[in-house]
Chain A
Amino acid sequence: MDGEILKVIICSGTACFVMGGSELLLLEDELPAAWRARVAVEAAPCLGSCKDRSCGRAPFAKVGDEGLAGATMPALLALIGRKLGETNGA
């Protein structure tokens, strides 16, 4: 639906930072202009995913209700794109 804001949470816990997660905090610079008004980016303290092996590897992020493990900037952008598409289609 238009007008709905997609929430993106970047884990900035210690394990995520050590595995390169700080990079993801630059997400806002990388977002395509058309997406900016529809996405809210937030840096969070440790989400706790690193303590649960079934969650996969650090660094972690969350896009809407979906978690992303081994997050990289391209993977994060791809997931946001998919979510925005879904949101539109719903």
Chain B
Amino acid sequence: MHHNNNASLVKRELLIRMIRLELEGRLEAGIDRVPYEMTCEPGYQPVRGSVYHDRSILKSRMVARLGFSVEGYVDDGTSLAPLVCAAAERPAPEGPILTVLDEACNACVKSQFLVTDACQGCLARPCLMNCPKKAVRMVDDRALIDKELCVNCGICQNACPFRAIIKIPVPCEEACPVGAISKDEEGKERIDYDKCVFCGACMRECPFGAMMDRSQVLDLLRRRRGGAKLAALYAPAIAGQFRAPLGKLVAALKKAGFDAVYEVARGAEITAEKEAHELVERLERGEPFMTTSCCPAYVEAVKKHVPALAPRVSDTRTPMRYTAELAAAERPDCLRVFIGPCLAKRKEGLDDPLVDYVISAEELGALFVAMGIELGDEAEEAVEAPAGPGGRSFAWSGGVAAAVGARLPAGVPFKPVKVDGLNKEGMKTLRAWADGAHEGNLLEVMACQGGCVAGPSVIANPKVALMQLKKLAEAGGA
């Protein structure tokens, strides 16, 4: 789905309003009014037939912004204030990091082929003639597909000379590269967490915004209110999310309440260095190839779906991990908050004791807006310990392989191949490499097409962000 869409904007507005109330110290008192405030403008056009239904759904959406699962939540008319208190008392964020809002889920019709009005009821009838299941018949001079018999093969669609047959997809199911989403008996979507790789594709693609992540931003604000110190560990892609030089981003992060700021691109340089060594060692041992390991959705996909590839995945830790180690050594007084465009990193953060919280680019943007921080107006700070260009290039597809390649000793044959986007095709490539059909000796895999710069919770257009990031990477020292 186009990344600029109303479902994303609604989520950001909820975040901004929640954070603003929290900072004003009146979240408990004000939270129930948010759905009204968002729908009371003159000329408001209801999305679901009635403004009351819209408000009820916004209220349920807020439950996920407070960090809770919405499965099992019933809007019984009572206040959200007790949930605010429960969120405040939560000792640590919990999984699963995704949650499905049944009330928002459109219960899209099961993926199906449909004959439209464009059908001419022609003589040739290739749809009827070629259907292997005899599911097409003619009714009132028009083709009709029997849903009971149809197996969704698509032969009729390809055969129709009038292009009268369309496929109605279920966007979340189509987007999921690993078949983790399917309908329950009532037609609502369910995520199978034994299969889910947390890539966030469903969240990005659901036109009703029913696939939601669970925010940790309130946990963070409450810890800060309680006197905790915070270190921001911002992912390479974050540097492209706001139109401001890095020094202003650092200044804005400090103004937003972070006591220390770390560029995760520094950790990325460590990852690249170690992966280069590791690749040489593995090739010397006679291994055919190695794959990168910085994309947590990819690593999860190997674990759950292509275990035969697991021995080839680099043992090097991720940039987030190495940066967390740096921060833990230098600023042990601070809680470590990873800020990135990625959903799977939130899962990685839950599993990594060195990472306390993971917030998204959207949430950081909402925090800035709620606090009235205008990046352009900040005085540019000197960036302490800036990362070099190899580290900063981890944000785009091809950038990791390039950073590893640049660190290889002369004479090592380097044949990088990339999987740019872990869609169904990408999964096929993984299986092919696992089965021995590999073309190179380093496979770089990024679950998001384009790389992290196109992650599921970015705010900037990936093209615009990439231009800014490339300039920044070129300007980087070392």
Question: Using a CB–CB distance below 8 Å, which chain A residues touch chain B?
Answer: 12-15, 17-20, 22-23, 25-26, 43, 45-46, 72
Contact = CB atoms under 8 A, between A and B. Distances in A.
B443 interface: no
B440 interface: no
Q: Which of B463, B464, B465 has the most CB of A within 10 A?
A: B464
Contacts of B4: 20, 23, 72
Contacts of B377: 45-46
B365 A18 contact: yes
Contacts, number: 58
A15 B242 CA distance: 10
Interface in B349-387: 362, 365-366, 368-369, 373-377
B120 interface: no
Given A12-B243, A23-B461, A26-B464, A18 B12 contact: yes
B60 to A, nearest CB: 22
Q: Which of B8, B362, B365, B460 has the most CB of A within 10 A?
A: B460
19 contacts: A12-B376, A13-B374, A13-B376, A14-B242, A14-B365, A14-B375, A14-B376, A15-B374, A17-B242, A17-B460, A18-B366, A18-B369, A22-B460, A22-B461, A22-B464, A25-B243, A25-B461, A26-B463, A26-B464
B241 interface: yes
Which 10 A-B residue pairings sit nearest by Cβ, starting from the closest?
A18-B365, A45-B376, A12-B243, A22-B460, A20-B4, A22-B461, A22-B464, A23-B461, A23-B4, A15-B369
B460 to A, nearest CB: 4
Contacts of A15: 369, 374
B152 to A, nearest CB: 34
B217 interface: no
B9 interface: yes
Interface of B: 4, 8-9, 12, 16, 241-243, 362, 365-366, 368-369, 373-377, 459-461, 463-465
A22 B242 CA distance: 8
B131 to A, nearest CB: 40
Contacts of A12: 243, 376
Nearest to B463: A26
Given A18-B459, A23-B461, A25-B243, 12 more contacts: A13-B376, A14-B365, A14-B375, A15-B374, A17-B365, A18-B362, A18-B365, A20-B8, A22-B461, A22-B465, A23-B4, A26-B463
Contact of B368 (A18, A20, A45): A18
Q: Which of A17, A19, A72 has the most CB of B within 10 A?
A: A17
B360 to A, nearest CB: 12
Q: Which of B369, B373, B377 has the most CB of A within 10 A?
A: B369
A18 B368 CA distance: 9
Contacts of B243: 12, 17, 22, 25, 43
A20 B461 CA distance: 8
Contact of A19 (B9, B374, B375): B9
Contacts of A17: 241-243, 365, 459-460
A20 B242 CA distance: 11
A25 B368 contact: no
Contacts of B373: 14
Contacts of B459: 17-18, 20, 22
Q: Which of A13, A18, A43 has the most CB of B within 10 A?
A: A18
Contacts of A14: 242, 365, 368-369, 373-376
Nearest to B240: A22
A23 B242 contact: no
B9 A20 contact: yes
B37 to A, nearest CB: 12
Contacts of B366: 18
Nearest to A20: B4
B209 to A, nearest CB: 14
Contacts of A43: 243
Nearest to A43: B243
A43 B461 CA distance: 15
